[in-house]
Amino acid sequence: MGAFPLISHLLVGLVVITTCYANLISELKQYAYTRSGSQNEEVTDKQNNGLLIPIPREVSDWPVIPLPFLGQISGVSINLQGHPVIFHRGKRVWEDSSFNSSFIFQKQNEGAIKDDTILTLDRSSGVVIESWGANTFYLPHGLTVDHEGFIWVTDVALHQVFKFSPHDKKAVLTLGEAFTPGTDIQHFCMPTSTAIASDGQFFIADGYCNKRILKYDTNGHVTRVYPQEYEYLSFSTPHSLALLEDHDTLCVADRENMRVVCVDAELHYKPVRVNDQQALSIHASDLGRVFAISSLGELLFAVNGPTASIPVQGFTLSPYRETILHSWAPISGHLENPHDIAISPNGTELYVVEISPNRIWKFQTSQWVNLFKYTYAYMPLEK
Ligand SMILES: *[C@@H]1O[C@H](CO)[C@@H](O)[C@H](O)[C@H]1NC(C)=O
Ligand SMILES: *[C@@H]1O[C@H](CO)[C@@H](O)[C@H](O)[C@H]1NC(C)=O
C-alpha cells in the first residue's frame, strides 16, 4: 500500500495538466487566428499589408435646425447627389395589433399615411429639400436609391415593393399584390429590403414570414430564390440587404439568427462557383440582432438592435474574414432602436435612422485606420 494511491494521484494530476495545456494551446491558436484574420489572404489590402477601415464619428451639430415631425424612421439611403433620403411612418405606428396571425394588415380602414413619407435632407445642413409619398403607403419599411437614382421601397402592410422614378415620383414597377400576402413568386409577405445591381438585376428580402431572398433579372423576372432546397442555409427575418458588387456577393442581415450571411450574388457567369453551398457568416456574441447593413467595397457597416444585455451600436464587419473589425457609437447619446444604415459610395458619410426615438444620426469617416496596427482583431469602442 502507499505507492499506488500516490501514482494514481500523479496520473490524475498529469491528465489535468495536459488537458489544461491543450486548452491553452487551442485558445492561443484561436487568438492568433483572430489577430491575423488571415483566412482570406487575397482580400488583404496590398498597400499596407493590412486593412484600412474608416472610423465613423458622429457629426453632432447635424441637422442644424430641428427636423419637422417624423414618425418611425424605417429606411435610409443616399441619393446620387449625396443627400440622405429617409422613409418614415408619419403618425402610423407598428403595433402588435397591426397584423393578425395570417399577416393581414388590420388598419386598412385608417387609409394610407397622410404625411409625406419620403424626405430628402440636405447632406450639409440636414434641412428638408424635398418631400413626397403622402397617401400612398400603409407601413413603410425599406428604402434604397439605385445607381440611376430610382427609389425602391417596401411596404410591409401592402406586401408590395415599388420602384419610383426620381423625377416625377411615379411608380415604374410594382411587385406583389396589395394587402395580399402569399408564398408564390408573385406575392410577398412583409418584404423588408431591396438591393439593386448597377446592371439592373435586383434582390428583394421577403421578409418577416417567407424568410427568403428573391433575385430578379433586369426585366423583373425571378431567376433565383435563396435558399434553394439543397442549400444548407436558412434565414430568420432577413431584414436588410447589401450588395458587394465588386465581389459578386450579396449580404443579408439575418436578424433573428443574430448574424450576417453572405452568399454568391451570381450577377456574373462563372464557370466554377466557388461559394456554392458555403455561405460566409458573421456570428459573434456581441453582434446581437443585426437590423441593417450597408456595403463599402469589401466592408460592411451594420447596426444591431436591442438584444438581451448586448450593447446597441454600430459595427464594421469583414464578410471575407467572417469577423467584426470594429464597433462604434455616437458621442452625444446612445443608439436605442436603429433600424437602417447607409454609407456613401466613397465611405465619407454614414447615416443611421431609428424608431423610438424617431431620429437620424450623421457620421463622418475622415480618419482611415490600418487595422493591424492594433493589438486586437477589433478595436475598442471609440468615444
Ligand atoms: C466623397 O463624396 C462626396 C460627395 O458625395 C464629396 O463631396 C467628397 O469630396 C468625397 N470625398 C472624398 C474624400 O472623395
Ligand atoms: C385576418 O384578417 C383578415 C381580414 O382582416 C381575415 O379575412 C382573416 O380571416 C384573418 N385571419 C385570422 C387568422 O384571423
Percent of the chain whose pLDDT exceeds 70: 82
pLDDT in tens, 195-225: 999 999 999 999 999 999 999 999 999 999 9
Instruction: Out of 77, 122, 348, give the residue to mutate to test ligand 1, the one with the largest number of ligand atoms within 8 Å of its CB.
Output: 348
pTM of this structure = 0.85
**Is residue 374's pLDDT more than 80?**
no
Q: Is 344 in the pocket of ligand 1 (CB under 6 A)?
A: yes
The CA distance from 267 to 200, in Å, is 10
- Confidence bin at 229 (pLDDT 50/70/90): confident
- The strand pair at 57-58 and 359-364 is best described as antiparallel
The CA distance from 108 to 324, in Å, is 42
The single residue listed with the C-alpha cell 402610423 is: 92
Give CA 258 to chain center in angstroms.
11
**Is residue 30's pLDDT more than 60?**
no
Ligand 1 mean position to 107 CA, how many Å? Answer: 43
Ligand 1 mean position to 80 CA, how many Å? Answer: 12
8 Å CB contact between 278 and 319: no
Which 8-state DSSP code applies to residue 144? E
Q: Is 234 in the pocket of ligand 1 (CB under 6 A)?
A: no
8 Å CB contact between 215 and 222: yes
User: Comparing 20 with 84, which gets the higher pLDDT?
Assistant: 84
**Is residue 284's pLDDT more than 50?**
yes
**DSSP code string of 11-57:** HHHHHHHHHHHHHHHHHHHHHHHHHH-TTSGGGSBTTTTB-EEE--E
Stretch 315-321: mean pLDDT: 93
Residue 259 three-state SS? strand
The CA distance from 201 to 187, in Å, is 19
The CA distance from 143 to 333, in Å, is 25
Weakest mean pLDDT among 33-47, 137-151, 172-186, 249-263: 33-47
8 Å CB contact between 72 and 94: yes
pLDDT in tens, 72-126: 999 999 999 999 999 999 999 999 999 999 999 999 999 999 999 999 999 999 9
**Is residue 373's pLDDT more than 80?**
no
pLDDT in tens, 336-372: 999 999 999 999 999 999 999 999 999 999 777 877 6
Q: Is 364 in the pocket of ligand 1 (CB under 6 A)?
A: no
276-to-36, 195, 212, 228, 233 alpha-carbon distances in Å? 26, 20, 17, 11, 11
Stretch 131-156: mean pLDDT: 98
Q: Among all ligands shown, which has an atom nearest to the Cα of 345?
A: 1
User: Comparing 305 with 19, which gets the higher pLDDT?
Assistant: 305
Please list the helix, strand and coil fractions of the chain in percent, rounded to the nearest 5, in that order: 15, 40, 50
Ligand 2 mean position to 214 CA, how many Å? Answer: 26
- Confidence bin at 52 (pLDDT 50/70/90): confident
Q: Is 82 in the pocket of ligand 1 (CB under 6 A)?
A: yes
Burial, 267: exposed, middle or buried (Cβ in 10 Å; 0-12, 13-18, 19+)? Answer: middle
Ligand 2 mean position to 100 CA, how many Å? Answer: 6
Stretch 289-303: mean pLDDT: 97
User: Comparing 12 with 241, which gets the higher pLDDT?
Assistant: 241
CA dihedral 299, 303, 307, 310 (to 10 degrees): 70
The CA distance from 78 to 351, in Å, is 9
Q: Is 81 in the pocket of ligand 1 (CB under 6 A)?
A: no
**DSSP code string of 308-330:** TTBPP-EEEEETTTTEEEEEE--
Give CA 30 to chain center in angstroms.
27
Q: Which residues contact 19 (CB under 8 A, 6 or more apart)?
A: none
Q: Is 109 in the pocket of ligand 2 (CB under 6 A)?
A: no
Closest Cα to atom 4 of ligand 2: 104
Q: Is 365 in the pocket of ligand 1 (CB under 6 A)?
A: no
The CA distance from 84 to 362, in Å, is 9
Q: Is 101 in the pocket of ligand 2 (CB under 6 A)?
A: yes
The CA distance from 75 to 78, in Å, is 11
Closest Cα to atom 7 of ligand 1: 82
Stretch 229-244: mean pLDDT: 93
Q: Among all ligands shown, which has an atom nearest to the Cα of 364?
A: 1
